[in-house]
Structure 1
Amino acid sequence: MKVMETERLTLRWLTPEDAEFILELLNDPSWVRFIGDRGIRAIEDARNYIVAGPMEMYSRLGFGLFMTELKDEAKTPLGICGLIKRDGLDDVDLGFAFLSRYQAKGYGFEAASATLEFGKEQLGLKRIVAITSEDNVGSARLLEKIGMKFEGMIKLPHDAEELKLFGANFK
């Protein structure tokens, strides 16, 4: 199901048919370095990740991580971007990840800006947060570029790593 469009992108719900792409994304060096190894090594693992993660969240909350693809004829998949309700955070969290070859081309900015607007306008959220690893300078820069402010360091339950917390408040 299509959720939103930008000038160059379509953001839509993930389906089990996206497993091949998810397998590639979750094993991309930048995902593993900045988000962590999820142990997804086969198509079936990727399908289970989609069903138990994004699809479960769509059915429960009406939002989640969205497939982000070009509006070209091939509908080239670039990454994921969306909103997550994460354990350990009071607020809805903006998350995104793109294959390395599509980073630094403005797609993350375009998708994250639209997702922030979607959360505010369509979902009526008053606050959205985002987290990044301390050394993920690119993601931190993008979050600031879309208007989110660094608020401090936090730790999520069951995670030893300190993370940077960014927030955006709406009227």
Structure 2
Amino acid sequence: MKVLETDRLNLRRQTAEDAAFMLELWNDSSWIQNIGDTGVRTVEDARSRIVNGAVEMYEKLGYGFYLVELQDGGIPLGICGFAKRDFLEEPDVGFAFLPRYWGQGYAYEAASAVMEYGKSVLGFTRIAAFTSEKNEPSGKLLEKLGLQFEKLIPYPGSDEMVRLYSVDV
């Protein structure tokens, strides 16, 4: 189900049929380095994670991480959307794209549309985000989207500190 459309992209809800793409994304070295190892190693594991993760979140919250694909040809590039995490008061925006699609403005285009959707459709008044301390490119993109760095916070269940950003919308 398509949720958003931009000049070049469609953002739609993930389905079990996206398992092969998500398996590739979750096992990309940039995902593992910047987000973490999901432990998903098979297409069947990926299907299960989509159904028990993204699909469940759509049903429970009405939003989640959307699959981002090119309008022309429907080629999947990455994901972008919102999550609601127990350790944050407000929903947080996030994005991840395969490296071969970096540097082409896709993440900014998708995240800009998602931010507007959060404000105008979902009624968010404040949006958060976080990145690993070392992930400078994502931090710069968050700032380009209007979020401001607040502070370092501990990431639950790990020794890692993450950079917290937020914006009133």
Compute the TM-score of the two structures, normalised by the length of structure 1. Answer: 0.97
Letter in structure 1 aligned against 2:163: K
The corresponding residue for 1:62 is 62
Distance 2:17 2:83 in 1: 21
- The equivalent of 1:139 in structure 2 is 138
1:13 maps to 13
Share of identical aligned residues, percent? 54
Q: Where does structure 1 differ by over 3 angstroms across 4 or more consecutive aligned residues?
A: none
Question: 2:120 maps to which residue?
Answer: 121
Matched with 1:130 is 129
Per-residue CA deviation, residues 50-93 of structure 1 (Å, 9 max, x unaligned), is: 01111000000100000000001x20000000010112111101
Segments of structure 1 that go 5 or more residues without pairing to the other structure are none
* Alignment RMSD: 0.7
- The one-letter amino acid of 2:78's match is G
For the 8 Å contact 1:35–1:133, the answer to whether it is kept is yes
Deviations 1:23-43, CA, capped at 9 Å, x for gaps:
000011110110011111000
Tell whether 2:111 aligns with 1:112: yes
Query: What is the CA deviation profile of residues 114-141 of structure 1, one whole-angstrom value per residue up to 9, with x for unaligned ones?
Result: 1111000101101000000000011000
Take 1:104 and 1:138, find their aligned partners in 2: how far apart are those partners? Answer: 10
Output one character per residue of 1:140-162: Cα deviation in whole Å (capped at 9) or x when no partner.
00000011100111113212210
Which residue identity is paired with 2:116? E
- State the one-letter code of the partner of 1:23: L
**What secondary structure is seen at the aligned counterpart in 1 of 2:150?**
strand
Say if 1:89 and 1:156, in contact at 8 Å, map to a contact too: no
Is the partner of 1:154 in helix, strand or coil?
strand
Residue 37 of structure 1 corresponds to 37
Q: Distance in 1 between matches of 2:156 and 2:165?
A: 18
Q: 1:87, 1:156 within 8 Å by CA — same for their partners in 2?
A: no
Match of 1:163 in 2: 162
The number of residues matched between the two structures is 169
- Equivalent position SS for 1:50: helix
Q: Does 1:25 align with 2:36?
A: no
Question: Is the counterpart of residue 101 in structure 1 residue 118 in structure 2?
Answer: no
Supply the AA of the counterpart residue of 2:165.
Answer: F
* SS across alignment from 1:125: coil
Q: Offset of 1:104 from its aligned partner?
A: 1.3
TM-score by length of 2: 0.98
Letter aligned with residue 7 of structure 1? D
Structure 2 match to 1:50: 50
**What one-letter code is carried by the residue in structure 1 that aligns with 2:139?**
A
